[in-house]
Amino acid sequence: TTGLIVFFQSGRPLGAGVRLGLGLRMNRTKGDEEEYWNSSKFKAFTFDDEDDELSQLKESKRAVNSLRDFVDDDDDDDLERVSWSGEPVGSISWSIRETAGNSGSTHEGREQLKSRNSFSSYAQLPKPTSTYSLSSFFRGKERSAYSFSALSDTPAKSYAPELGRPKGEYRDYSNDWSPSDTVRRLRKGKVCSLERFRSLQDKLQLLEEAVSMHDGNVITAVLIFLKRTLSKEILFRELEVRQVALRHLIHFLKEIGDQKLLLDLFRFLDRTEELALSHYREHLNIQDPDKRKEFLKTCVGLPFSAEDSAHIQDHYTLLERQIIIEANDRHLESAGQTEIFRKHPRKASILNMPLVTTLFYSCFYHYTEAEGTFSSPINLKKTFKIPDKQYVLTALAARAKLRAWNDVDALFTTKNWLGYTKKRAPIGFHRVVEILHKNNAPVQILQEYVNLVEDVDTKLNLATKFKCHDVVIDTYRDLKDRQQLLAYRSKVDKGSAEEEKIDALLSSSQIRWKN
Amino acid sequence: MAFPHRPDAPELPDFSMLKRLARDQLIYLLEQLPGKKDLFIEADLMSPLDRIANVSILKQHEVDKLYKVENKPALSSNEQLCFLVRPRIKNMRYIASLVNSDKLAGRTRKYKVIFSPQKFYACEMVLEEEGIYGDVSCDEWAFSLLPLDVDLLSMELPEFFRDYFLEGDQRWINTVAQALHLLSTLYGPFPNCYGIGRCAKMAYELWRNLEEEEDGETKGRRPEIGHIFLLDRDVDFVTALCSQVVYEGLVDDTFRIKCGSVDFGPEVTSSDKSLKVLLNAEDKVFNEIRNEHFSNVFGFLSQKARNLQAQYDRRRGMDIKQMKNFVSQELKGLKQEHRLLSLHIGACESIMKKKTKQDFQELIKTEHALLEGFNIRESTSYIEEHIDRQVSPIESLRLMCLLSITENGDARCSLDTHYGPEHLLTFSNLRRAGLLTEQAPGDTLTAVESKVSKLVTDKAAGKITDAFSSLAKRSNFRAISKKLNLIPRVDGEYDLKVPRDMAYVFSGAYVPLSCRIIEQVLERRSWQGLDEVVRLLNCSDFAFTDMTKEDKASSESLRLILVVFLGGCTFSEISALRFLGREKGKREFIFLTTAVTNSARLMEAMSEVKA
């Protein structure tokens, strides 16, 4: 059993292989480890230390890869065959995919399956070994291979699937079962008539027995019977004081999709918020946008919590807007006259997208529109009271994606009353830099915003991370930190302008270095 | 800190028999429909089924073609159709539409529905309503315990979490009780039982009932597993909400381990194809790094790579005979190791890239601050920014829940603006499940409670308070954390290479609450002295112990502990307990979970999608 990693192998017993594996396992000695830790440049571990960690990994990878030529000569000798999709050939998942693919031509498909299956390298099942050997009579602590018969040497009867008739076929025509007997029989999955429980008292006693046995399946079975044989007012009234049973009924109604009775129940229980949410939930099943919108309109007045009410109203307004925007933009796009839609065709419809996605969309396609139009970002911001921070983040992401650097610039430029311009970012310039970097902004642009970061350490970190050499060099110069500048020299390219700049600074007699 | 084999460790029970049992039972059920048949399999059952059977076994039992149960008309021309499904309403509707369209076309076929792990009355009701009850025969395949590894059994029921903790539906409790009953039949009774949580208690009681009814089955058997500990997921949401940093957990968070295997994409395999890789103790390389803090993994892998290189290098200067020996005896193992090594190096590389991109360092820092309860304002603004930047709705939800539970207040921000208004429903769900807590639920709750209690005249009265307390319970995380010392005091750096406690699974910042509870109870062999903790957990009525006479329990068996997580457990918790077992007196933990979970899965289970 050297096949230690087994791609979906199912026939082999787990235990033996593992124990063997454990026994053979190579032990790392303390000394080895110590030596490794001392010799490596491993420092405290952080997920930020991408370079160090990855280089360590890369090194291991190189070592492993260098062996590949030697190793890869015969790939398949100890592994399962794996189909193109990664499923082992012969596995059940694989086979189902095959049937689906071949479902048209039945006969061919079958032939194909047969032939594929014949070369699949599945190990045959171990034959159940007879345990009526001498050794089995003297069995001590260790266990021999399992089989049904192996268990029968215990004094009790063996545990085996009920090998008689399937449970469903057990029928009971006796009418004398007590509530507790009935419930017990139900738990065993036996068909059992409940019709003889006709008085309310009997019914409730049956329900209580079911609840006290804890089996939810039986509780539901009794509830199905009660639902059929009691008026809903009586049923609801009795369940109100039986919370466990009540919860089962609610879940059951949800599952079978009896929305009407569910809403009646919530109404009866005076659970107004659940009633509202449950009604609102139905919109998920409505595909047509106009119908969905109309449905949402019916939700607006429902007794949600104050906070939720506002969200429901917004949901309705948003979908209403989206329908207008969608119709308009689909038209624009198909007409092919508008540059932005030609250059950046829409990937999906805006219908049913969250608010922030809608805002992004509108910043992307409708940025310059006047406030009066439904699709303008400013209009969305006002209507839905989007906070400044959120607005700026979204607009920045959209404009950066389009590489509209002027718009980005304008987003952070404010004029004071004297007409001087100033740069201000409600989200902090460090965030701005990160977002710009994610959108592959050129170094000149990045540099500009890195320079606006106030905290010097953050600024240095970002500048180093994003290779804004000028910012790093200027900052060290301003800090009069000769040592750091010297160290940074090794990180810039040889013979580059940056190197020259550093050299010029280092040899300058104007600067009074602090170290 | 690799986990070398410990000669003093108790031997684990052989769980492979569970696979054989399930397979034999399935074969038996297939034979109940003699002759050629097409098999329709529910998507969620495909991976578990793949772990215990394969196509040739199905073929041997006259399964002709395999189909996935999906909302499409079936193209099968077979005269016998067999459906292997979870007991879900939508599956019944699918089968009904199929059978009814056959009826309309005047076609008669044989239909069989095999429910796994059991059938529900609600399903039968649908069959009856659709007029096909009697046209289809129903059976149950009680396949509820899949050994994913030598020490890990999964019920593969991720829906357990939503069904019970959100909807309050107890339908799976019987399944759990049956599974425990099966375990005690195969591996002997459990002399010491502990548990915490409402569901744990119910599952335990139902299980006890089963044992009493089928009296005698486990009598006289020697116990193989000395302790069993049942724990509800809602006793500790915090641990499940944290980002994982032990290797196996990180692989799960990054690539999603499904049914014990993971799909490594081209970025990991450094080829153009994806690979499905089984991750368990049989993978020697994986087995040594799975429980390690991620920072140790690099070092281990490069050491391993160097050793491997050295081993290959030995072939230089070999004569023909030595070479022959080398090729016949060592080469295969080395090649295997090489393959595994490059796979895990690729995985690490890919994890590093992804995590660096998403500012993982910042994220972890915020999580730790929340756990320790300092810089709350800073953390709150970080989370707000996280939302503003539209990183990922699931991540934002997770952080909000973490903030809310650790701070015991409603941390709702304007998330629906950002991620679509359906989140209104998600929020309502999170609150109902107790993942988002209200600032001051006390008064309103008591008012409703007293109103209801007045109406109650029957003996179920006591139960009602229980139902309510789980509806909107206060989280007392800070107080619990203090009582149980969940935040280790560390002088200097926490050495992740040589962990001193279970906190290493969260970089030394936090001992998983669930694991700490288990540790404390096992140490005391009772809940004694933990009253205050239990009260803070809102579990005063649901913490229990049950000891039987131990005369038959060998000392070997008493070193084995089965931990049952109702609602899912994370790989971090598994790693932490594996560590505890090793540290504290040569014990070994075995895990039974309704499903392996992580923060993303918890959040996804709470979101609302169209019916």
Domains of chain B from N-terminus onward? 15-141 (3.40.50.2060), 147-236+512-606 (3.40.50.1910), 247-356 (3.90.830.10), 363-407+409-441 (1.25.40.850), 444-474 (no CATH)
pLDDT at A238 over 90: yes
Maximum separation of any 2 CA atoms in chain B, in Å: 92
Chain B residues whose beta carbon lies within 8 Å of the beta carbon of residue A85:
274
Chain A residues whose beta carbon lies within 8 Å of the beta carbon of residue B14:
13, 15, 143, 146
pLDDT at A126 over 50: no
Helix (H, G, I), strand (E, B) or coil at B264: strand
**Which of the residue ranges A115-129, A332-346, B191-205, B249-263 would you say has the lowest mean pLDDT?**
A115-129
**Which of the residue ranges A489-498, B12-21, B334-343, B388-397 would you say has the lowest mean pLDDT?**
B388-397
| Cβ A249 vs Cβ A281: under 8 Å | no
Backbone angles phi, psi at B114, to 5 degrees: -105, 115
Helix (H, G, I), strand (E, B) or coil at B39: strand
Q: Do the Cβ atoms of A167 and B140 come within 8 Å? A: yes
Q: Average pLDDT, stretch B502-515?
A: 96
- Supply the pLDDT for residue A322: 94
Out of A220, A284, A312, closest to residue B608 by CB? A284
pLDDT tens for each residue of A253-300: 999 999 999 999 999 999 998 999 999 999 988 989 999 999 999 999
Burial class from Cβ neighbours inside 10 Å (0-12, 13-18, 19+) for residue B257 reads buried
pLDDT at A186 over 70: yes
With vertex at residue B584, the alpha carbon angle to CA B578 and CA B588, rounded to the nearest 5 degrees, is: 40
The residue with greater pLDDT, A88 or A414, is: A414
Q: Do the Cβ atoms of B5 and A23 come within 8 Å? A: yes
The answer to whether B288 contacts chain A (CB < 8 Å) is yes
pLDDT tens for each residue of B125-178: 999 999 999 999 999 999 999 999 999 999 999 999 999 999 999 999 999 999
User: What is the b/e burial string over A140-149, where b = at least 16 CB atoms within 10 angstroms of the residue's CB?
Assistant: eeeeebbbbe
Q: Do the Cβ atoms of B66 and A211 come within 8 Å? A: no
pLDDT bracket for residue B450 (50, 70, 90): very low
Q: How far apart are CA A40 and CA A55, in angstroms?
A: 12
Q: Do the Cβ atoms of A66 and B355 come within 8 Å? A: no
The answer to whether B133 contacts chain A (CB < 8 Å) is no
Q: Which of B21, B26, B54, B222 to mutate to test the interface with A (most CBs of A within 10 A)?
A: B54
Out of B49, B355, B428, closest to residue A47 by CB? B355
- Supply the pLDDT for residue A43: 38
pLDDT bracket for residue A154 (50, 70, 90): very low
pLDDT at A135 over 50: no
CA B137 to chain centre: 32
The one-letter code for the residue type at A213 is M
Specify which of A109-113, A275-279, A422-426, B420-424 reaches the highest per-range mean pLDDT: A275-279
Chain B residues whose beta carbon lies within 8 Å of the beta carbon of residue A285:
610-611
The single-letter DSSP state of residue B11 is: P
pLDDT bracket for residue A305 (50, 70, 90): confident
Chain A residues whose beta carbon lies within 8 Å of the beta carbon of residue B21:
146, 159-161
DSSP helix, strand, coil percent of chain A (3-state; round to 5): 60, 0, 40
pLDDT at A248 over 80: yes
Q: Average pLDDT, stretch A345-358?
A: 88
pLDDT at B295 over 50: yes
Query: What residue of B is the nearest CA neighbor of A428?
Result: B385
| Cβ B50 vs Cβ A93: under 8 Å | yes
Query: What residue of B is the nearest CA neighbor of A285?
Result: B610
- Supply the pLDDT for residue A90: 64
- Supply the pLDDT for residue B428: 86
**Nearby residues of A479 by Cβ (< 8 Å), 6 or more positions away:** A456, A514
pLDDT at A49 over 60: no
Chain A residues whose beta carbon lies within 8 Å of the beta carbon of residue B271:
none
- Supply the pLDDT for residue B286: 94
The single-letter DSSP state of residue B474 is: P
| Cβ B179 vs Cβ B145: under 8 Å | yes
Out of A216, A224, A386, closest to residue B173 by CB? A216
Q: How far apart are CA A91 and CA B54, in angstroms?
A: 6
The residue with greater pLDDT, A104 or A233, is: A233
Q: Which two tokens stand for residue A43?
A: 């420092």
pLDDT at A152 over 80: no
Chain B residues whose beta carbon lies within 8 Å of the beta carbon of residue A262:
none
Q: B residues 357-376 near A, CB within 8 Å? A: 360-361, 364
Q: Average pLDDT, stretch B515-533?
A: 94
pLDDT at B510 over 80: yes
User: What is the b/e burial string over A336-362, where b = at least 16 CB atoms within 10 angstroms of the residue's CB?
Assistant: eeeebbeeeebeeebebbbbbbbbbbb
Query: What residue of B is the nearest CA neighbor of A23?
Result: B5
pLDDT at B456 over 50: no
Q: Do the Cβ atoms of B120 and A252 come within 8 Å? A: no
Q: Do the Cβ atoms of A10 and B64 come within 8 Å? A: no
The answer to whether B306 contacts chain A (CB < 8 Å) is yes
Q: What is this structure's pTM?
A: 0.80
The answer to whether B64 contacts chain A (CB < 8 Å) is yes
pLDDT at A42 over 80: no
How, if at all, do strands B261-264 and B275-278 pair?
Answer: antiparallel
- Supply the pLDDT for residue A418: 76
Query: What residue of B is the nearest CA neighbor of A71?
Result: B335
- Supply the pLDDT for residue A419: 74
pLDDT at B417 over 90: no
Chain A residues whose beta carbon lies within 8 Å of the beta carbon of residue B460:
208, 211-212, 241-242, 244
What is the ipTM, given to two decimal places?
0.90
Out of B171, B209, B340, closest to residue A220 by CB? B171
Q: Do the Cβ atoms of A284 and B422 come within 8 Å? A: yes
The answer to whether B128 contacts chain A (CB < 8 Å) is no
- Supply the pLDDT for residue A31: 44
Chain A residues whose beta carbon lies within 8 Å of the beta carbon of residue B178:
none
pLDDT tens for each residue of A405-457: 889 888 888 777 777 778 888 888 888 898 898 888 888 888 888 988 888 88
pLDDT at A191 over 60: yes
Q: How far apart are CA B41 and CA B89, in angstroms?
A: 15
- Supply the pLDDT for residue B419: 59
pLDDT above 70 covers what percent of chain B? Answer: 88
The answer to whether B547 contacts chain A (CB < 8 Å) is no
pLDDT tens for each residue of A170-183: 444 555 788 999 99
Q: How far apart are CA B191 and CA A436, in angstroms?
A: 63
| Cβ A278 vs Cβ A265: under 8 Å | no
Out of A26, A92, A355, closest to residue B54 by CB? A92
Q: Do the Cβ atoms of A146 and B16 come within 8 Å? A: yes
pLDDT tens for each residue of A317-334: 999 999 999 999 999 888
